[in-house]
Amino acid sequence: MDAEIIKLDQEGKQNILNYHRYQKNENKSDSYRCVNRKCGDSFYHKTMKRNQIEHYHSQMSQCEVDCLVQLKSLMQLVSVDHDIRLEEAHNRHYQLLTEKYLHKEFAEFWKPFIGIKCSLRYHTNKTKPKNPKSVHDIEINNVYATINYEPFLQFDN
């Protein structure tokens, strides 16, 4: 097996091998199974050993793979950059796809912003700090807690 594994996320939960998408079996396990639950094809990451089961379904096209990679990288972007507008982030990845494909070629694999907005919002909110419920939840770091080496008044009663 000489194909390269394409990682779809930082945690290594999903990847693509030979135009098929795989899902990690358990957190600690090194084995990946085809995301198509009925399929049963799997492999071990370290040894790259596959079981004897062949995929019964068709593989992804290069275009579909690229769309998936862009989607995952979009999710990653909005979860680390909380300042970027979701629509702009989406558009940025859409643009990258248009450099390689015509719109009609990837339209079936790439969701318009409206169809993915909720999911993007979920990913960006997941990594945002929680809104404080009371004053005690607000942490003021050292930079703002002193002015001219004097601690500034943080509470006015």
Asked if 74 and 90 touch (Cβ cutoff 8 Å), the reply is yes
Of 58 and 131, CB closest to Zn ion: 58
SS3 52: coil
Which of these segments, 21-29, 38-46, 76-84, 137-145, binds Zn ion (CB under 5 A)? Answer: 38-46
**Stretch 104-143 residues interacting with Zn ion (CB under 5 A):** none
86-98 and 113-126 helices, crossing angle to 10°: 120
Task: Determine if 41 is a binding residue for Zn ion (CB under 5 A).
Answer: yes
- The closest alpha carbon to 63, from 109, 112, 4, 10, belongs to 109
Distance in angstroms (rounded) separating the CA atoms of residues 95 and 115: 17
Q: Is residue 79 within the footprint of Zn ion (CB under 5 A)?
A: no
Q: Is 39 in the site for Zn ion (CB under 5 A)?
A: yes
Which of 7, 45, 50, 55 binds Zn ion (CB under 5 A)? It is: 55
**Contact stretch for Zn ion (CB under 5 A) within 2-10, 47-55, 67-75, 137-145:** 47-55
